[in-house]
Structure 1
Amino acid sequence: MLNGRSWDDWIAEYAESHRNRWNRLTHTFGIPMIVVAIALGMLAIFVAGLWPWALGLFVLGWALQFIGHAIEGKPPEFFKDWRFLLVGTRWWWKKVTGRV
């Protein structure tokens, strides 16, 4: 799945398109919003009334991602390889745990 590359290699490439502090800030909030939205969306199958929250978080999270990339002036990495959708989540986790 990682195409013979380590997570660190993927994250280093990801970091190249995320140098601007405002882009990193929008991703710091947007990525977890998207992850939570997906979890809520799956839970909404069983719990009535969650889908509007899931949809709202999902749309706002992605809006933050694209705003950040507009500020950075670089396209999102997942435009060239879908695996960067997973790398972004891993980057966020490393950032919040102090490993980036």
Structure 2
Amino acid sequence: MKTAGQWLDEYGASHQNPTNKLIHWFCVPVIYFTVAAFLYAIPMPFAEKSLFINWSAFVMVLVAIYYLRLNLALGVLMAAFSFGCLWLSHWLDLHAAFPLWQIAAALFVLAWIAQFIGHHIEGKKPSFLKDLQFLMIGPAWVFGFLLRKVGVSL
């Protein structure tokens, strides 16, 4: 199994252009949030939707396990970000003027368009075309950068 550092370095190899990196710094967390929001918006059978009883929370537990297996510090940071996405989904579901799934859909499409523009600028294909696991590594790459900046080895 590759280490977190190996995954992040391989992902980073196709994200060297400063413009593409900046686009990814914003769009990858947005896309991650939209997936959490889409999952939150799916009704759970036999349960009233709440902050902790929803499809997003269920999937986020599995995602946290994945990241924790890669690296403890990265896993904790990603779990915290996941909870933030879950909380924001819950809040928007209760208070937004539009249905959560519509907000998520708009953000999802815009963020992916921006990502493909970034890859066009970079001149490299998105990493997930090589290995679908890079869809999970993208969010970790953003937070892994922060961890490395404060001296945490991945």
Q: Which range moved further: 22-31 or 41-50?
A: 41-50
Q: Under a length normalisation based on structure 1, what TM-score does the superposition of the two structures give?
A: 0.87
What is the aligned-residue RMSD (CA, Å)?
1.6
Amino acid at match of 1:90: A
Q: Which has the higher helix share?
A: 2
Amino acid at match of 1:99: R
Q: d(CA) in 2 for partners of 1:93 and 1:78?
A: 18
**2:18 matches 1:21:** yes
Aligned to 2:116: 66
Q: 1:41 aligns with which of 22, 31, 38?
A: 38
5+ long unaligned stretches in structure 1: none
5+ long unaligned stretches in structure 2: 44-92, 150-154
The sequence identity of aligned pairs, in percent, is 43
Aligned to 1:99: 148
Aligned to 1:79: 129
Aligned to 2:102: 52
Q: Under a length normalisation based on structure 2, what TM-score does the superposition of the two structures give?
A: 0.58
Rg larger for = 2
